[in-house]
Amino acid sequence: MHPALWLAGRASSVGGHMVAERLGRSVPRVADDVPRNGVDLTTDWLTAVLCAGSDGAEVTGFDVPAEHAGTTTRSALRVRYNDAGTAAGLPTDLFTKSSASFAQRLMLGGADVLHGETHFFMRFRPRIEMEAPRGYFGGVDPKSWRSLILMEDIAVTKGAEFAIPTTPISRSQLEDLLGNMAKYHAACWEAPDLDVLKTPNDFYRNLSTFVRMGPRTAVGMERAKSVIPESLYGQAARMWEGTRRALDVATTQVPHTLLHGDGHVGQVYITRDGRMGHTDWQGTMRGGWSFDYAYLVSTALEPEQRRAWDHELLEYYLERLTEEGGKAPAYDEAWLRYRQGVFYPYSAWAFTIGRAFYQPKMQPDEISLACINRVAAAIEDLRSFEAVGI
């Protein structure tokens, strides 16, 4: 079926399910139920999810002190327990992400990104010793594209402060993030159950259901002309071909591991103890380690910082990956994969600023320009066209 026709059919089905939900036919009671948002919960459902394994524990009440909507609807949640639950030390400061609106369900469900965070929190996070929120529930209803994630509210539990994509970052902070990355890469290196996740190639095919990413990156090049090196300006088609090849490398030529999938600095936080962590795992994928590495390093650093630290940062990551039990490649191969990997970060941000009128504005233009400036300089410095054979 043509993707547009398929999406139209799913839109009708999702709309029908949402009408039924508003008529009260989706009240969550048991742990397998997926709530329609982070507000319309029940103490029965919270007890089933949070108190399993704690004899006599029950949720007696909850409050939702804050809620806001964007790509997902996000709600703070404060939970109260009976004496048994309190004595067991069950979590009280929680946070939910849900696909509460029709637009959210259609965009996230159609692009097949609803399941990634559920898989991360419920399947992979428990096996990884890393700095990231703990998850307590993740669920997706495949018919209605209703979804909800219930996780630790790290703003309260860890005093976390959240970065934006252009937050200045020191070398030690970046090394902390690379060490964290090495932990989740190593813990899931070639894990058999990674096959539940999409690959970078899958992601691109899913996104193409909605938009033509290549042409939008060409528009983005024009809008970002002021920050693109003269040697790269006017080569939008070559940049997109480089991106296509880079996605294929990450999918077919490098051993698979768990990928964050959208790992710029705007997806990290710093705890009250000064530790750096990764959050917002909605884009979780499987593929080559270099996909995450190239995205973080090329977008996090100003060109002069990256030029000074590039080789040592890669050596640091490879050492941490080996220490954590991953199968680190030889340095020369790793350097090649890094050089290849910087095309996708460029296209992700060129696509963001090159959006069509019907796409949401995901970031302010000044942030997109700053990231494009950093990654375009990396493509030029690293001779990345040569690395992908263009």
User: Are 119 and 221 contained in the same domain?
Assistant: no
The CATH number assigned to the domain holding 198 equals 3.90.1200.10
- Token pair for residue 334? 């790793």
Q: Which of 90, 123, 155 delimits the end of a domain? A: 155
Q: Within this chain, do residues 173 and 121 fall inside the same structural domain, yes or no?
A: no
Average pLDDT of the chain, as a whole number: 93
Domain C-terminal end among 101, 129, 155 = 155
- Has residue 211 got a pLDDT over 80? no
pLDDT value at 210 more than 70:
no
* Cα distance between residue 150 and residue 172, in whole Å: 31
Q: What percent of the chain clears pLDDT 90, i.e. is strictly above it?
A: 82
Three state DSSP letters for the chain: CCHHHHHHHHHHHHHHHHHHHHCCCCCCCCCCCCCCCCCCCCHHHHHHHHCCCCCCCCEEEEECCCEEECCCEEEEEEEEECHHHHHCCCCCEEEEEECCCHHHHHHHHHCCCCHHHHHHHHHHHHHCCCCCCCEEEEEEECCCCEEEEEEECHHHHCCCEECCCCCCCCHHHHHHHHHHHHHHHHHCCCCHHHHHCCCHHHHHHHHCCCCCHHHHHHHHHHHCHHHCCCCCCCCHHHHHHHHHHHHHHHHHCCCEEEECCCCCHHHEEECCCCCEEECCCCCCEEEEHHHHHHHHHHHHCCHHHHHHHHHHHHHHHHHHHHHCCCCCCCHHHHHHHHHHHCHHHHHHHHHHHCCCCCCCCCCCHHHHHHHHHHHHHHHHHCCHHHHCCC
1: confidence class by pLDDT, cuts 50, 70, 90: low
pLDDT band at 107 (very low <50, low <70, confident <90, very high): confident
The domain of 23 spans 3-155
Does residue 52 sit in the same domain as residue 28?
A: yes
Confidence of residue 111 (pLDDT cuts 50, 70, 90): confident
Asked if 170 and 136 sit in the same domain, the reply is no
Is the same domain home to 221 and 337? yes
Handedness of CA 232, 235, 236, 238 (dihedral sign): negative
| Domains: count for the chain | 2
My answer on whether 173 and 315 are in the same domain is yes
341 and 195, same structural domain? yes
CB 140 within 8 A of CB 118: yes
Question: Could you tell me if 196 and 61 lie in one domain?
Answer: no
Task: State whether 16 and 75 are in the same domain.
Answer: yes
pLDDT at 127: 95
Residue 372 has pLDDT above 70, yes or no: yes
Give the model confidence (pLDDT) of 238-257 as tens digits.
Answer: 999 999 999 999 999 999 99
Let me know whether 180 and 259 are in one domain.
yes
**CATH of residue 72:** 3.30.200.20
pTM for the predicted model, two decimal places = 0.93
Residue where one domain finishes, among candidates 113, 138, 155: 155
Q: Are residues 220 and 139 in the same domain?
A: no
Classify burial at 40, counting beta carbons within 10 Å of its beta carbon; exposed 0-12, middle 13-18, buried 19 or more: middle
- pLDDT tens for residues 15-72? 998 998 888 767 899 999 999 999 999 999 999 999 998 999 999 999 999 898 878 8
Between 23-37, 188-202, 261-275, the lowest mean confidence (pLDDT) is in: 23-37
Residues 195 and 333 in one domain: yes
User: Does residue 355 have a pLDDT over 90?
Assistant: no
